[in-house]
Amino acid sequence: LALREDDPAAMRAIVASIAGTTDSAIHLANRLLVLARIEHGGGGEAAQPVALAAIARQVGLELALPAVQKGIDLALEAEADADTTVVGRELLLHELVANLVDNAIRYTPAGGSVLLWVGRRDARVVLAVSDSGPGIQDTEIDKVVMPFYRAQATLEANPGGTGLGLAIVRDIATLHGAALALGRADAGGLEVQVSFDAPRAES
């Protein structure tokens, strides 16, 4: 269709539609590959001590551009003196953090805020991502971690989403023996907390 168009504007519109569809397909394929890797125990990656705060900083840098493009204030707060080391698979933990931050940016309206927090609470290492988006109804909290389920608010904000982001987060958390909790953020949107056991000190 694009090749048959004589109008450059119409051609650009068709090509843009193709690009959007391709990006959506790639996004879906990548998330399905992550789910397959989790189902196979992490894809062969060995568990090792991982600095969760360092992963959070890396993800913040990687996703700074889409946040800036939407005028979103993306902030990272990490307790300076807290040991945020966990034992896990670094690639999957990076995927967990990236999914949470990417979701927060996607569903937070332009001009909003996203906060990524890492620290210690009750002798556990905690990662929390909160936003000023539409949040999720209490009746949907247990459903949004199921593959392909999409909350009503997310359907309105991003009709082209896959419904796999929080399912991936849940599965990675489960693989690492971490607790996952969803609730309302102070900014009015969604807050997702992932709580890990801190590594035991060697005697």
pLDDT one-digit tens code per residue, 14-71: 666 666 566 656 555 666 566 666 665 655 667 899 999 999 999 999 999 999 999 9
pTM here?
Answer: 0.76
Q: Given this model, what pLDDT does residue 41 score? A: 63
Q: Give the residue from 88, 82, 129 showing the smallest Cα distance to 105.
A: 129
Long-range CB contacts (within 8 A, 24+) of 10-16: none
Question: Sheet holding 113-121: strands in order across?
Answer: 73-78, 113-121, 124-131, 190-197, 179-184
Q: Given this model, what pLDDT does residue 203 score? A: 41
Dihedral, CA of residue 24, residue 160, residue 168 and residue 148, to nearest 10 = -120
**Integer distance in angstroms from the first to the last C-alpha of the chain?**
69
Question: In this structure, what token pair is assigned to residue 155?
Answer: 């359907």
Please give the C-alpha separations between residue 49 and each of 43, 100, 187, 198, in angstroms, as whole numbers: 17, 21, 33, 10
Dihedral, CA of residue 32, residue 35, residue 39 and residue 42, to nearest 10 = 120
Q: Give the residue from 151, 138, 121, 123 showing the smallest Cα distance to 182.
A: 138
With a cut of 70, list the residues of the chain below it in pLDDT. Answer: 1-5, 10, 14-45, 147-163, 201-203
Q: Given this model, what pLDDT does residue 107 score? A: 87
Per-residue DSSP letter, 137: -
93 membership: H or E segment, kind and range: helix 90-107
**Rounded Cα distance, 131 and 62, in Å:** 18
192 membership: H or E segment, kind and range: strand 190-197
Region of residue 163 (left: phi > 0; alpha: psi -120 to 50; beta: else): left
